[in-house]
């Protein structure tokens, strides 16, 4: 399992790159955010349990998530050309690879400085600060913030059946699912920073 970027074959995946901008919050502040979301060591353990459950299902999970985005024009437009409004296949494909790696990184649940800095980078890539740059595309410049929050529900709800596919007890499936919900909310909270007025984050 690789999450170090320099050797990574995933285009644009820069987790751990030394030149990434630092997260505006410290690891202590991250810890307070985790406490606020009731994220505990037990959640980290269940995320790690989900890693093995999801590993050979990642492409199917991505089919569902991408299918969801593709079936809503108001979402697909963020992957589409600013010129003619048509989806940009290379953009979709390159982001999909990084999305697959994000599933692995989320399930790894190692909340260190590198992880925190990459969360900041993912936020920037949704926001006009850095959207389109990684893949050098001319798509719409910014993802409207309200959709980041709204997508938390379909992303996490559609994951549950996949968590249940490897014969775990219903209580274990539920705990993996709850841990995923917490982690995705935590991450989207971190991704919000570039969207929030200076001084208010
Ligand atoms: C819970 C909410 C969301 C999650 C978990 C999520 C997850 C991700 C991940 C993991 C990446 C790749 C990050 C990387 O470069 O390593 C990404 C990029 C992207 N996401 Fe999202 N996303 C969310 C909301 C949205 C929404 C609402 C849209 C609108 C359709 C969207 C569109 C995109 C686009 C266009 C990129 C590529 C950005 C770029 O680098 O140019 N995302 N997302």
**132-176 pLDDT, tens digit each:** 999 999 999 999 999 999 999 999 999 999 999 999 999 999 999
21 within some domain: no
Residue nearest to atom 1 of ligand 1 (CA): 152
Q: Averaged over 35-58, what is the pLDDT?
A: 98
- CA-to-CA dists, residue 32 to 35, 134, 152, 186, angstroms: 5, 31, 21, 11
Question: What's the pTM value of the predicted model, to 2 decimals?
Answer: 0.95
14 within some domain: no
111 within some domain: yes
Task: Kindly report the CATH number assigned to the domain that includes residue 91.
Answer: 1.10.490.10
The domain containing residue 166 runs over which residues?
27-195
Find the residues whose C-beta lies inside 6 A of ligand 1: 12-13, 69, 75, 78-79, 95, 98-99, 102, 122, 125-126, 131-132, 134-135, 143, 147-148, 151-152, 155, 184, 188
1 within some domain: no
**96-111 pLDDT, tens digit each:** 999 999 999 999 999 9
Closest CA to 178 of 85, 47, 90: 47
6 within some domain: no
- How many domains does one find in the chain? 1
Find the 38 Cα to ligand 1 centroid distance in Å: 25
């Amino acid at each position: 399992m690789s999450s170090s970027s320099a050797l990574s074959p995933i285009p644009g995946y820069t987790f751990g790159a030394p030149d990434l901008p630092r997260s505006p919050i410290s690891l202590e502040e991250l810890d307070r955010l985790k406490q606020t979301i009731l994220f505990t060591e037990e959640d980290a353990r269940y995320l790690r349990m989900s890693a093995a459950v999801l590993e050979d299902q990642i492409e199917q999970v991505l089919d569902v998530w991408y299918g969801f985005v593709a079936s809503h024009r108001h979402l697909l437009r963020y992957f589409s050309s600013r010129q003619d409004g048509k989806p940009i296949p290379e953009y979709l494909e390159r982001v999909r690879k990084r999305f697959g790696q994000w599933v692995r990184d989320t399930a790894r649940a190692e909340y260190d400085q590198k992880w925190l800095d990459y969360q900041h980078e993912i936020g920037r890539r949704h926001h006009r600060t850095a959207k389109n740059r990684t893949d050098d595309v001319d798509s719409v410049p910014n993802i409207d913030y309200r959709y980041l929050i709204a997508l938390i529900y379909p992303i996490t709800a559609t994951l549950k059946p996949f968590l249940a596919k490897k014969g775990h007890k219903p209580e274990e499936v539920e705990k993996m699912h709850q841990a995923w919900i917490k982690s995705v909310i935590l991450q989207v909270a971190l991704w919000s920073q570039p969207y929030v007025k200076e001084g208010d984050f």
